Amino acid sequence: MKEVIIAYQKLQKNLTKVIDKSGFKTDYIAKRIGMTSGNFYVKKRRGSWSDEEMLKILEIIENDETENYLLGQIISEVRKEEDGNIDELMAVLKA
């Protein structure tokens, strides 16, 4: 269960980087999720995404490159934890 929370926190912290890795233009994503470009840029700079906004963004930018980047970030965070268990994390992510 702890791994799920760590994965969520890492996603929330790194969503701006994931957006940049996705190759999609910020204006395009903003329009697709029903947000003005200005508001999107502010949220992107601050990393202040709501859960709903995060889901919408991920539905748009989900691809192999962004998933690999995120998985790498999550695994590195779990490895920092003294009792982090990579096998448990992988089971959660595959579910």
Asked whether 54 and 11 are in contact (CB, 8 A), the reply is yes
pLDDT digits (tens, 9 = 90+) for 12-60: 888 888 888 888 899 999 999 999 999 999 999 998 899 999 999 998 9
Neighbours of 32 (CB within 10 A): 14
**Residues contacting residue 83 through CB under 8 Å, at least 6 positions apart:** none
pTM given for the model: 0.65
Torsions phi, psi for 76 (to 5 deg) = -65, -35
Question: 83: which 2 tokens?
Answer: 């009792």
